Amino acid sequence: MRRILPISVLCLAAGVLNACRPEEVVLTENIPTAGVRFIHAVPDTGAMDFRPVDIVENSQFYGIAYRPTNNVFYKNARAGARHYRIFMSGTTQEVASTVVQDINVTLEAGHNYTFILWGYARAGSPLGPAMKLDIIDDNPADPGANVALRIVNTAGLGAIDGKHYLAAGAPPATATWANVAPQSASAYISTAPGSIRYNVTPAGGGAALFADPTALAGVAATVDIEAQPGTTVAGSAVSGVIFPRSVAGSGAPQGTIAGINYGLPGIMFVWDRRPPRAPGL
Give a three-class secondary structure readout of the chain.
CCCHHHHHHHHHHHHHHHHHCCCCCCCCCCCCEEEEEEEEECCCCCCEEEEECCCCCCCCEEEECCCCCCCCCCEEEECEEEEEEEEECCCCHHHHCCEEEEEEEEECCCCEEEEEEECECCCCCCCCCECEEEEEECCCCCCCCCEEEEEEECCCCCCEEEEEEECCCCCCCCCCEEEECCCEECCCEEECCCCEEEEEEECCCCCCCCCCCECCCCECCCCCCCCECCCCCCCCEEEEEEECCCCCCCCCCCCEECCEECCCCEEEEEEEECCCCCCCC
For residue 280, pLDDT over 70 is answered with no
Q: Does the predicted TM-score (pTM) go above 0.75?
A: yes
Mean pLDDT value of segment 135-148: 95
Residue type present at position 145: A
> What are the tens digits of pLDDT across the range 48-91?
999 999 999 999 999 999 999 888 999 999 999 999 999 999 87
> What are the tens digits of pLDDT across the range 160-182?
999 999 999 999 999 999 999 99
Task: Give percent above pLDDT 70 in the chain.
Answer: 89
Task: Give percent above pLDDT 90 in the chain.
Answer: 77
> What are the tens digits of pLDDT across the range 214-240?
999 999 888 788 889 999 999 999 999
pLDDT bracket for residue 278 (50, 70, 90): low
Torsions phi, psi for 264 (to 5 deg): -130, 155
Q: Average pLDDT of the chain? A: 90
Of the listed ranges 18-27, 115-124, 150-159, the one predicted with least confidence? 18-27
Mean pLDDT value of segment 138-160: 96
Output the pLDDT for position 11: 47
- Sheet arrangement for strand 33-41: 75-78, 33-41, 112-118, 132-137
> What are the tens digits of pLDDT across the range 265-274?
999 999 999 9
For residue 118, pLDDT over 80 is answered with yes
